Structure formats: structure tokens, C-alpha cells
Amino acid sequence: MIVLFSVLLVCSAVYAQGASEGEAKELVAYSSVDEENAAKLFSAFTADTGIEVSFVHLSSGPALARIQAEKGRPQADIWFGAPSDNHVSAKTEGLTIPYQSPALDALSAEFKDPEGYWRCIYMNPLAFGINTKALEKAGASMPTSWKDLLKPEYANLIQVPTPQASGTAKAQVYGLIEIMGEDEAMAYMAALNKNIQTYTSSGTGPSKGVNVGDAAIGVQFTPAFFNSIDQGLPVKVVFPSEGVPAEAPAVSILKGVKNEAAAKTFVDWMTGPKGQNALTEQNTFFYPILSTATLALGMPSFDSLKIIPYDTQYYSDNNERIVTRWVNEVLTAEK
């Protein structure tokens, strides 16, 4: 079910960057950031600017489909979140507009479209989240690699998202292709199918199963796992030895929006020092894209991780083919 959230915190000071005083009063977002963290960040933005925010949470696939259906008459002003290859697709289809600003200029080249159609907002590495009690109950050992997940001892213990709906899952597939090559990656995931308990439609779905012990192992981006540890749950984060892909979700301004000034103000706030520090201040457990921003305690530095890069333009162009191949070769593989 799609849930609409309104962030109604109002303060007297108006954040001037991106819009003059009095112009920007409200903002509507399609958010592919998980609901809890999106609400935290939009609340912080409202507290800083006085701009009220309402948002609809949609995974990246459904979000893009809705934006495509509303082309030229968008019901939201921004698309917040989803890996940047989705925003490349939105740009290519003429669904977004460029916005150049000092905040964009300050970002490294890998975190922005040079024409200003999209810009990244944070980074997240993929990892295994392990419920140590559930793993012990199953009598299984701690996995340390992608290869380990194929062991028979993990039968029916693993949850991963599906690339049919989740940008997180697509990043996992792209990363495995970069590590193994496309044919071997498809064969690996088909073999792994025997150990998969369920494919979740949401990228953060596996963490929910891990938190309550329904799954011993979940594969997704790390924030929800770090949050579980912070809450005292028996969860351990494992970065597989072969390396992991990382997402760099982006934000774009939709073409034909009603609240363009507010959209520009948010884009500048989110990619500037206040928004980047809010990632840690609001306990999102996201990695900032600005090196000067603070990092939450307990999170290893991003530079210390073995990150597998991939070409977002290539995978944006080949997304439909790869997902179709996944459905035909992996989802239907023998259990």
C-alpha cells in the first residue's frame, strides 16, 4: 500500500539557497529512500527552511513507472532516492530538468550529471546482514564471501530483494556481473536460488526478516543493518571478500513541477553541508558524499571497503535485458 506522509514542522528562518524568501513554501516528493529515513531528512529540511514536505514512498521501479505515466504533468516535484542509473533513464526520457548551482559544482564528478539533471545524495555499500542467533539456531557457520552463500547449510535462510522492483537488487546483480562476468553471475544466482527463502519487493525487505529472525541472512545496503545493531539487535554486518557494489542514490527535479523553487532549495540543502551532516545527525547510517561531513560511530570508513564500481550508463541502457534474463534464468531456477 502506498502511504502518504506529511512533514509539517515549520520554523521562522527560511533557507535562502536556491530560492528567494517567500517563494518556496511546500514540496512534494516521490521518495525511493526508505520511509523512516526519508521522514527524518525531510523533517530536518523543514526545520531548517520552513518548507513543508509531503512524500509518497515508492521503490525505484514503481517510482519510475509513475513518473513516466505522469510525463509533462507530474504530481510530485522531485524524485528522491533510487540508484543513479534510474535517474539517467529519467533524464534520457525527458522526465527531469537540469539545475546548475554552486552545490552541484562542489560535488565530485562521479556524484553528478555534468548537465545538472541529477546529483547523488549519499552512498551505501551492499553487505550481508546476519542474525547471529538465527544462524546459530540453524547450525550454520558465518558466511564471509559470495561463494559461501551457495553452501547447502544456508538452505531457506537467505532473503534478497528482486530486481523486478528494487534498485538495491539491480545494484547487487550489476556488482556480481562485474565480479564474475554476466554468464557466470547468472549461473551463480541460479544456483543460489536453492538457498533463497524469499525475494522481497522492497530493497530494505531483507533487513525486516533478519531483525525478527525469520531469515538468518539478508543481502541489501547497509543502513538498516547498522540501525539494527544500534538498537541492540543480534545483527552482524559482513562485507563479502570478493567485494561489493555500492549505490549512490540521486535526486532529480521533475519536468513541469509546480514547486520548482522549493525543489531547487531542497536539492541545494541535501547536497550541501547541512543536508550531508543531517545524514549522521538523523541516524540514517548513510555514507555522506561530502568528505567533510561527519560519519556515524561504528561505521567503517568508505575508503576501507572493497567497492566494485560499475558503469551506470551501461547498466541503465541494458537494465531491461538484464532483468529479463534474471527472471528467465534465476527466478525460475530449480529449488
Contact 77, 92 (CB under 8 A): no
Q: What is the pLDDT of residues 118-159, one digit of tens each?
A: 999 999 999 999 999 999 999 999 999 999 999 999 999 999
pTM of the entire predicted model: 0.79
- The CA distance from 172 to 178, in Å, is 10
Which candidate, 309, 61, 319, places its Cα nearest to that of 200?
61
Q: How confident is the model at residue 225 (pLDDT cuts 50, 70, 90)?
A: very high
Please report, for residues 165, 210, 277, the alpha-carbon distance to residue 290 in angstroms, rounded to integers and kept in the order given.
29, 31, 9
pLDDT at 23: 63
- The CA distance from 247 to 161, in Å, is 14
102 or 177, higher pLDDT: 177
The mean pLDDT of 56-70, rounded to a whole number, is 94
Domains and CATH numbers, the chain: 4-123+248-299 (3.40.190.10), 124-246+305-331 (3.40.190.10)
- The CA distance from 107 to 288, in Å, is 11
Q: What is the pLDDT of residues 40-58, one digit of tens each?
A: 999 999 999 999 999 999 9
Q: What is the pLDDT of residues 248-288, one digit of tens each?
A: 999 999 999 999 999 999 999 999 999 999 999 999 999 99
